[in-house]
Amino acid sequence: MQVTEVLTDLQYRDFKLADAMQLVSHLNAREIQRDTTISFPLNLKDAQWWISYVNDCAKRSNPTEHHFAIQVDGKLVGSVALINKVEHRAELGYWLAKDYWGQGMMTDAIGHMLEYGVEHMGIHRIFAPVLPHNKASSRVLEKNGFEAGGVLKDYFYKDGSYINALSYVYLSK
């Protein structure tokens, strides 16, 4: 099932190949590299491959991941996704271009993604690992009903070092 069949909010849509240039530009931005462990896609070819991959995933009958593109005036400005679905569990990932921070956009996007994951992917437990310095990321999770579950030691490997993660968990009602 395509996300657009379920979510009619015009702010969210599936990725399309025409997003590839913007995807590269946004993910290579200093703030996104600093605050996430995304290291890919970094070039146009990788971005095009990734977009084809996520679109194929979305078409499967029981997808293990779903990625929404967040758009403003038709242009890609961010993404929210559920990935690594196993049984009733999955992981949440998200990013937004800096120009759009602080307007409540990701709080809203995560709310939509939780609803989609529970209602259309059969997910009950959603996990999100956050870099300890990333207060805004912790906050958007807390505002959506996630609970802090402690420190995951050496969870990430970034720029040649192991880094702790803060664990956040959401359980559907």
Ligand X SMILES: CC(C)(COP(=O)(O)OP(=O)(O)OC[C@H]1O[C@@H](n2cnc3c(N)ncnc32)[C@H](O)[C@@H]1OP(=O)(O)O)[C@@H](O)C(=O)NCCC(=O)NCCS
Q: Please report, as ranges, the residues that interact with ligand X according to CB under 6 A.
A: 31-32, 35-36, 94-96, 101-107, 130, 134-137, 139-140
Q: Where are the alpha helices (DSSP H) in the chain?
A: 3-6, 20-27, 30-35, 44-59, 105-120, 135-143
CB closer to ligand X, 3 vs 77 = 77
Spatial CB neighbours of 142, under 8 Å, sequence gap ≥ 6:
148, 168
- Asked if 145 and 99 count as a contact pair (C-beta separation under 8 A), the reply is no
User: Smallest gap, in angstroms, from Cβ of residue 1 to ligand X?
Assistant: 25
Minimum distance, C-beta of residue 135 to ligand X, in the bound complex (Å): 3
Least distance between ligand X and beta carbon 93 (Å): 7
State the nearest-atom distance from the C-beta of 106 to ligand X, in Å: 3
Q: Which residues pair with 129 in a beta bridge?
A: 167
Which one, 1 or 111, has the nearer CB to ligand X? 111
Residue closer to ligand X (CB basis): 88 or 98: 98
Give CA–CA dist 1/36, Å, rounded. 28
Distance in angstroms (rounded) separating the CA atoms of residues 36 and 24: 15
